[in-house]
Amino acid sequence: MIIFQKNKHTLSVDDFNFRCCVGKKGKSKKKKEGDKKTPIGYFSIENLYYRSDRIKKPFTDLKCIKIKKNMGWCDDPYNSKNYNKLISVNKNTKCEKLFRKDHIYDLIIPIKYNYQKPIKFKGSCIFIHLTNNYKPTAGCIALKKKDFLILLKLINKKTKIKII
């Protein structure tokens, strides 16, 4: 199964085309930390993280992990040990907090970009997450909740995403 992110407004899986949004500055083969671009390439996906206080566990073949208040994703390129990894939030580590007041991270799937052996400043925290208004992201791919829930029924842990 492959998810295709073809243009800045369409995410496709099988016969389904979902409206989406991508990075504010478009897409790039040379992604850098903080450049507001979505990385171009062919990537695996991670688990589903969800806010169980807001959403019941969705139907999916992905492993589901409840987002806790202390969860974050390290976006500090100077933190070699934790860069682009799930961490426990603390005041000494720069990270993207997953437990947010807004609802964009009520459902997230990390894209395994710069993931296995992260290279400093190449980019981190690239997620498929929710949007209310299709405003461009900081580099992620965002969908409306109803479309995200359909996507979850179509994919599994072997699914790849191709961003072109």
Tokens 């208040």 belong to residue: 69
Q: List, for residues 108-159, the tens digit of each pLDDT value.
A: 999 999 999 999 999 999 999 999 999 999 999 999 999 999 999 999 999 9
The whole-angstrom distance between residue 137's C-alpha and the CA centroid of its chain comes to 11
Stated as kind and residue range, the H or E segment containing 93 is none
Is it the case that residue 6 has pLDDT exceeding 90?
A: no
- Domains of the chain, first to last: 2-163 (2.40.440.10)
Distance CA 44, CA 63 (A): 14
E-assigned strand segments in the chain: 2-7, 10-13, 16-19, 27-28, 38-39, 41-44, 48-50, 64-66, 71-74, 86-88, 95-97, 107-110, 127-130, 141-143, 160-163
pLDDT digits (tens, 9 = 90+) for 64-107: 999 999 999 999 999 999 999 999 998 888 999 999 999 999 99
